[in-house]
Amino acid sequence: MRVDYDEYLVDDNLHINWYPGHMKKTRELVRNNLKLVDVVVELLDARIPFSSKNPDIDNLAGGKPRVVILNKSDLADRNKLNRWINYYKDLGIKAIPVDTMKGVGINKLVDECRNVTKGKMDALIEKGRKERPIRIMIVGIPNVGKSSIINKLTGRKSTATGDKPGVTKGKQWVRLKGNLELLDTPGILWPKFEDQEVALNLAFSRAIKDEILDVETLGLRLIERLMEIEPEKLKARYKLEELGETGLDTMDMIGRKRGFITGKKELDYTRIAFTVLNEFRDGKIGQISLEVPEDIKN
């Protein structure tokens, strides 16, 4: 069976594909407005830098100077985060960890935008051109935190924010302090997820809406992943002496430990799944990264 929810395609095996019409329009918006900007700021989720990277951006950005932001860095494993920073350094790109809740990394973002455009700005002044604002384009997948970063950059609530994909609806120019201008764009994914592990990582991080997914299966898949990469954090959060032999066994143990029992005295799998998903997303299970540079498939 396949279910079509306008923007998403999901089958019984949790095969996820997503490319709503407005994202095609966003792709064209980015392409058409790229000539107006001096630097492209690409936002990635620090927990899933590879999965949250839209491969289209490399082609769309072309030769424009690039700055990478590893947002939600407070939720990521610090050791793995440093490995991603070094990975981008080897590519000649500055990757800046950012925590918008505390404002960490925001000033470094501004400084790096100035740094990568200094040559161009100096050349314009030498030609007798009047100094103008540095124009920045922010691009990233849905729910990666673009609006929150813009609000930190401006010091006020300039754009709508929300903990769900699709809050930013259209092109917005935002004037920043220090003679900077920023072009925000809606989040954009890509037409087809060839790697379903990427799709799962996006779903785990809420880049894809829970409402159209089989949340019980998604929660089970996350438990299986955490059993593999962070078993001690999983045990500590749910006060388990040992994990089950399978993901479903562990899911049952978490449900019993938390008392998630229905009126029919059966385990409430929907509640268990939502709890694990939300506690991972909020960092309550611990600082967890789901991938490292070595996971990238050539």
- What residues form the annotated binding site for GTP? 71-74, 143-148, 187
Taking every pair of Cα atoms in the chain, the longest distance, rounded to a whole number of angstroms, is 79
> Token digits for 122?
């100096």
Question: For residues 257-279, b (16+ Cβ closer than 10 Å) or e, as one string?
Answer: eeebeeeeeeebbebbbbbbbee
CB 253 within 8 A of CB 238: yes
Binding-site entries: 71-74, 143-148, 187
Kindly compute the dihedral angle of the four CA atoms of residues 262, 278, 17, 293, in this order, to the nearest 10 degrees. -140
